Structure 1
């Protein structure tokens, strides 16, 4: 399985700051932030599935725009997979005819451009040889992490989360974990803000990583623009057992 980083920043501001979106193979998006906008029209039209971790704007902003751009080009709807709480937010606040048209009813409800598919934590979604499983996460709104597995190895993406024993336990239950993408939204100087917003700071990430029993490659995402050097230095100084590197826009991870 191949995962391309379309965006991994905690904000916008410059060509390297695209909010979170990952392209798995060529037909699956994991989160749907501003990085999706760099894809060509034909690449957008090839996307069949979008898995959303939570409802915050930096992770969903491109969903309405994708459907609007390629809905008529496709013979089947784009399916957005998310836990029911997230789907309710999308219906109430995005696809409500006020912020954006309801593409689950366009051109009609029998042949829509968009389908919203509920998922449950711990239950696999199988797409051919690939399996995507929502894992528990702990954020300021209902949220999940995801495990991606194609039978040759596994990758876990934390989404937005604070320190979560449940997520740690789920990661430790992965039998063949090759990569872990984990957020670090704030520096240690902003530890209080990280706690309030239910994000991670470098010290918290180090504590999290020290609980991981396997030895995956660790990639840090969601760093605020302009803070990468400081955050990565603080993670290194915290002395976690697992070495971590900053995720980069355009990076490709194969597993």
Structure 2
């Protein structure tokens, strides 16, 4: 698995960029910083895992879908907790702050351009050859972490988190874990 760190900070200032990781050019984990580092390559992204709905983790979702909308032949799929999906729909993609792309159809095939998929803690789901396990992170709002497994290797990502034993338990219980990325931008807030 190849991980491209697009941003790893809780803010955007000078050379610091908000949280985003790209897994094998196929899965975006959080969307704080996407378009500048990837350019047109960002338009190929089809899957986003969102840890939670704080701005440093979702900021570029609206721009990514609006810039790629005319070019897309497949929808942009967002995998997140119900809490995060509701916040995205209510506060951002609501046709007041930004267009609700989940009701707009792609010109190329007629499917909805933005699709939300609820994920639940402890329930494994698949995206292509990736097996993904959401787990709870310790943050001020409901937040997920994700363990992603493919090709006999696993990587663990947390959303903003404070002290939590479950990350270490996940890592210790799985010999396939090769890397752990822990976001501590705002650990106790």
TM-score of the pair, normalised by structure 1: 0.68
| Structure ranking higher on relative contact order (CA contacts 8 Å, 6+ apart) | 1
Is contact 1:37-1:62 (8 Å) kept?
no
Structure 2 counterpart of 1:56: 54
Where structure 1 has 5 or more consecutive residues not aligned to the other structure, the ranges are 187-193, 198-255
Structure 2 unaligned segments of length 5 or more: list them. Answer: none
User: Can you list the C-alpha shifts for 1:125-182, whole angstroms capped at 9, x where unaligned?
Assistant: 2123221221111111111011111132111111111112334333333232111111
| Aligned counterparts, 1:1-255, within 5 A | 1-15=1-15, 17-41=16-40, 43-107=41-105, 111-185=111-185, 194-195=187-188, 197=189
Query: How many residue pairs align between the two structures?
Result: 186
Name whichever structure is richer in strand by fraction. 2
On the 8 A contact 1:21/1:36 being kept in 2, the answer is no
> Deviation at 1:124?
1.8
Q: What TM-score do the two structures reach when normalised by structure 2?
A: 0.91
The Cα shift of 1:70 comes to 0.6
Counterparts of 1:72 and 1:85, CA distance in 2: 29
Partner of 1:39, secondary structure, is helix
Find the residue that maps to 2:126 and give its secondary structure: strand
Counterpart Cα distance in 1 of 2:122 and 2:171: 12
Paired residue secondary structure (1:81): strand
The 3-state SS of whatever aligns with 2:148 is strand
Of residues 54-63 and 165-174 in structure 1, the stretch that sits farther from structure 2 once superposed is: 165-174
Q: Is the 8 A contact 2:5 2:20 kept in 1?
A: yes
Question: Residue 46 of structure 2 contacts residue 76 of structure 2 at CA under 8 Å; is this kept in 1?
Answer: yes
Report how far residue 35 of structure 1 moved. Answer: 4.4
1:208 corresponds in structure 2 to: none
More displaced, 59-68 or 145-154?
145-154
